[in-house]
Structure 1
Amino acid sequence: MNYKELGFKCGLEIHQQLEGKKLFCNCPTIIRRDEPDFSFDRRLRASAGESGKIDVAASYEQQKNKLFTYQGYDDTTCLVEMDEEPPRPINQDALKSVLQVAKMLNCEIVDKIQVMRKTVVDGSNVSGFQRTALVGMNGWIDVNGKKIRVATICLEEEACQVVKRTKDHDTYNLSRLGIPLLEIATEPDIQNPEECRDAAAKIGMILRSTGACKRGIGSIRQDVNVSIKGGARTEIKGFQDLKSIPKVIENEVKRQSQLVKAGKKLSNEVRKAEPDFTTSHLRPMPGAARMYPETDIPTIIPSQKNFEKIEIIDDKIKRFEKNYSLNSDQAKLAVSYEDKQGVNLENFFKKYKVEPKVIVEFFTAIPKEIKKRYQLDINPESVADEILSRLAAKEIAKESVIEILAEYAKTKKLNFEKFKGVSDEELEKEIKLIVEKNPGAPIGALMGIVMAKFRGKVEGKKVMELLKKHAK
């Protein structure tokens, strides 16, 4: 498919939840699915935006005349989420995070941050609007050597979580409402479906680099805006994962192309990505008519002082390769482990005179091997200092670590005496005897005999050196 000839235009919207407290109250950002303590009902209606007009998408939802039930909890829900109390001052940690991300995306920070109300009457916001604030604009990211412009970065409230939907009655859970949400929108600079996937991956990597983002299913969402010559702008929501983006875009372009060829008129709309990579209609495309100022929150003058420089994940991988003699796979494993587990492996690289690749293996590969061999789970962080300090002092060999950890997983005790290393003199003496008893045996066979005898008490590298010295 020739996307250039089709007049293909594509832009991204990334939504990322942040850790910490909620954006306009002090409730925790724990998403709950247990039995609620209370519930209440509301009906919502659309109001005119700053332009004096009612938004087409809001009007569309209002016509459904649905009843909305909201479920809450005594200990994690407050009157702000219930829209029975004005919002508190904006969460400063969330504001700092969005400003840092804006800098990482090369954005210009606005002089004043004005929180706005975005009309939403599908029930996902109790108040009938979502609070959102423009923080940065005119940025860019590099994707495979090409500059993709970032139009805006906003800080906004996450919506309620859907519990149940019927034709005339929807039920929502309030635990998700108000979680700080970053919204990053690119310009339509993306030229093909694969580039869209790569741009989404790059933005996701930058966001994870901050350490401020939530992880797990639903914590990050990608919306894709697509159009072709003679077609209409379509916003696609609900992607299952990044891998599905190219196929869904390809099918949407085919759908629009067929309609254009048939002489049909297309309207701007929001569509849902389906599991079979097709799309289905959700609602009309919302416009600017749904925005108006939030009068309960003062204008914010953003501070750009004292920002710590954040190293993005790709740069950290390259630095680990260079500074710690790790190959590409080892460096990626190390940085990925840090990212997912919140453990600073670099501190261990610096603290102990142990090869960094051995430390990476200790945290990443060895627990998997123990699980595979013995069906045992082990948390390497809990015993890292005790194991690595003895490896550095050469009190144990790295070959013994699996057995030590497996025994610890069973008994919750570390038995180093059992795996105490053998002196070079004792090892060399034993190797001489083994060579004498097995004349003509290949080095591989001799290696197996030595390693079986000492059961993790000696390093394979040292054994091989001595075998080459004494075996004829």
Structure 2
Amino acid sequence: MTTNNQIANRKSINYEAVNFRCGIEIHQQLEGKKLFCPCPTIIRKDEPHFTIVRRLRASAGESGAVDAAASFEQAKQKTFLYQGYQDTTCLVELDEEPIHPINREVLITALQVAKLLSCTIIPSLQVMRKVVVDGSNVSGFQRTILVGVNGTLNVDGATITIPTVCLEEEACQVVERTKEQDTYNLSRLGIPLIEIATGPDITSPEQCQIVAAKLGMILRSTGACKRGIGSIRQDINVSTKNHPRVEIKGFQDLRSIPAILAFEIQRQQDAVAKKENLASHVRKAEPDMTTSYLRPMPGADRMYPETDHPPIEVNHDDVLIPRLLDDIAEELKTKYGIPPDLVKDIINKNLPFEEYVKTYNAVDPKLIAAIIVKNPKELRRKLGLEYNVHRHAPALLSRLQSRTITPSSVMEIQERQARGEAIHWSLYEPISEAAIEGTVKRVMQENPNAPIGALMGIIMKELRGKADGKTVMELLKKHKT
């Protein structure tokens, strides 16, 4: 949690005076199949079917030198245990079989992202091996592909350069760490991962948060991204006056970015003032908004070509660029008059609003938005009920479309659906206007001194959704005068 002191310290920092420079790397998991095998991208948490044991050694990169970060990890002399599953883990993850041809669907997604960022697409893609011997990859390396270069991102009038867009393999998931050995879950290994790297063009922690949010929006616009905790991560590179670049890993909540960067700026400047021995390195973002030392900074010495996959020729001219979610959100607000808070939920939860508007074109779009966003939130907040939009909303909307129920019955029906009750639709069939008018006259006679609002409540309760509120109000006004 950010304290008042942290906020005050952040506001007091002169970013220009400390020569603050910042770049961000976004890593986003993709849905579907894994990058180099047909295994599903399901991250398992159940009891594993088997465990294998490995020891890893650092190998030289293409330059002939061994990477400093790889040497650092090898020096720990750890044993690595890998937990696998017979039905979702194959020999590729175990490094007992060469990789299969690349997953073309996720390659197209990576090309879409590169085009959305105005990158130059690499015409012949080369799979590379990046040496990683911390145990997170069974093979001792991570496969990565440079897809696009020299892109740009516009953020509030500022141009942020995008040097690279890459497609990578996700690493194993840590289960347990001890001094002697680490245990990993194999189900995450090989999940496709898009990496977007910006240049050092970000000039404040607040701008960094905005850039991260916009890149996340662009990634989600493809419709191919995984959602949930851990599906997207941010690594942030920071340097200040007289201090070399530091990479901070482990950001998951964008709201923590400004506070952690403010801490890191102060830490770097304190280290400079104390004349400490300074070197580039990797740090970890901590829950208390501080950072801690992780390992030396990796370099180019850990890269070399993948020998089990040929170069990939791409024709990106046929790759369709998806609409940005920000553009869709703006259209929902202007075209249909949907309030911003409902638009945000429609976008974030990927709800089929536009599909429903087209299919049920006789239903007011604002009512559709209420049915799939507003009402489910009310049911959850007031009654603790979960409403399954995809399961229940079509039946409700089809009857609104055919006018066999009225809008005033919607909330009661949704509550019954959420409770799992069978819906007797005939109970909600609208009555004739003559019958409504008769009820209005009778209630007015029985309550001659009641204000129009009270009469409305009595009538709607009696008719139980069989009459539209607008019709009832019009009749009340007609007979009240």
* Greater Cα shift, 165-174 or 216-225: 165-174
Pairs within 5 Å for 1:30-429: 30-337=42-349, 339=350, 343-352=351-360, 353-410=362-419, 412-429=421-438
Provide the C-alpha distance between the structure 2 equivalents of 1:6 and 1:445, rounded to a whole number of angstroms. 65
Q: Is the 8 A contact 2:144 2:168 kept in 1?
A: yes
Instruction: Identify the match of residue 470 of structure 2 among 461, 464, 470.
Output: 461
Tell me the distance in 2 between the aligned counterparts of 1:219 and 1:10.
23
TM-score normalized by structure 1?
A: 0.95
Q: Per-residue deviation at 1:221?
A: 0.5
Shift in Å, 1:281? 0.2
Per-residue deviation, 1:157: 0.8
Correspondences of 1:7-46 after superposition (within 5 Å): 7-46=19-58
Q: Note the C-alpha offset of 1:216.
A: 1.2
The match for 2:8 is none
Q: Distance in 1 between matches of 2:384 and 2:274?
A: 60
Q: Deviations over 1:173-232 (max 9, x none)?
A: 211111111111000111100111111111111111111111111111000000001011
Closer, same or farther: CA 411–54 of 1 in aligned 2, 3 Å? closer
Shift of the 33–388 alpha-carbon distance from structure 1 to 2, 3 Å rule, reads closer
Q: State yes or no: 1:437 paired with 2:437.
A: no
Q: Which stretches in structure 2 are left out of the alignment for 5+ residues? A: 1-12
The residue type paired with residue 4 of structure 1 is E
Quote how far apart the aligned CAs of 1:263 are: 2.1
Mapped partners of 1:152, 1:411: distance in 2: 50
Deviation at 1:149, TM superposition (A): 1.2
1:312 shift after superposition: 1.0
SS of 1:354's partner is: coil
Query: Structure 2 counterpart of 1:193, which letter?
Result: P
CA-to-aligned-CA distance 1:400-443 (integer Å, 9 cap, x gap): 11222333444542212112212222212322232233334322
Which range moves more in the overlay, 33-42 or 283-292? 33-42
Q: Is the 8 A contact 2:115 2:321 kept in 1?
A: no
Corresponding letter in the other structure for 1:347: E
Residues 330, 357 of structure 1: 8 Å contact kept: no
Q: Which one is further off, 308-317 or 394-403?
A: 394-403
Aligned length: 468
Alpha-carbon contact 1:404-1:415 (below 8 Å) kept: no
Secondary structure of the structure 1 residue equivalent to 2:18: coil
Q: CA deviation at 1:373?
A: 4.7
Tell me the distance in 2 between the aligned counterparts of 1:441 and 1:360: 34
Report deviation, 1:87.
Answer: 1.1
How far apart, in 2, do the equivalents of 1:80 and 1:311 lie?
Answer: 35
Asked whether 1:4 is paired with 2:12, we answer: no
Moved more, 141-150 or 408-417: 408-417
Amino acid at match of 1:164: E
Counterpart CA distance in 2 for 1:464 and 1:377 is: 32
The percentage of aligned residue pairs carrying the same residue is 56
> Per the alignment, in what secondary structure is the counterpart of residue 402 of structure 1?
helix
Tell me if structure 1 keeps the 8 A contact 2:93–2:190: yes
The alpha carbon displacement at 1:327 in A equals 3.2
Deviations 1:320-343 (A, max 9, x none): 223223233333333333x2xxx4
Q: Distance in 1 between matches of 2:95 and 2:295?
A: 26
Contact kept? 2:392, 2:417, Cα under 8 Å: no
Q: TM-score, normalised to structure 2's length?
A: 0.94
Shifted more, 130-139 versus 65-74: the winner is 65-74
**Which residue identity does 1:305 align to in structure 2?**
D
User: Secondary structure of the equivalent of 1:15?
Assistant: strand
Query: Aligned equivalents of 1:431 and 1:400: distance in 2?
Result: 18
Indicate the SS of the match to 1:159: coil
State the 1:383 CA deviation.
3.3
- Aligned partners of 2:161 and 2:198 also within 8 Å: yes
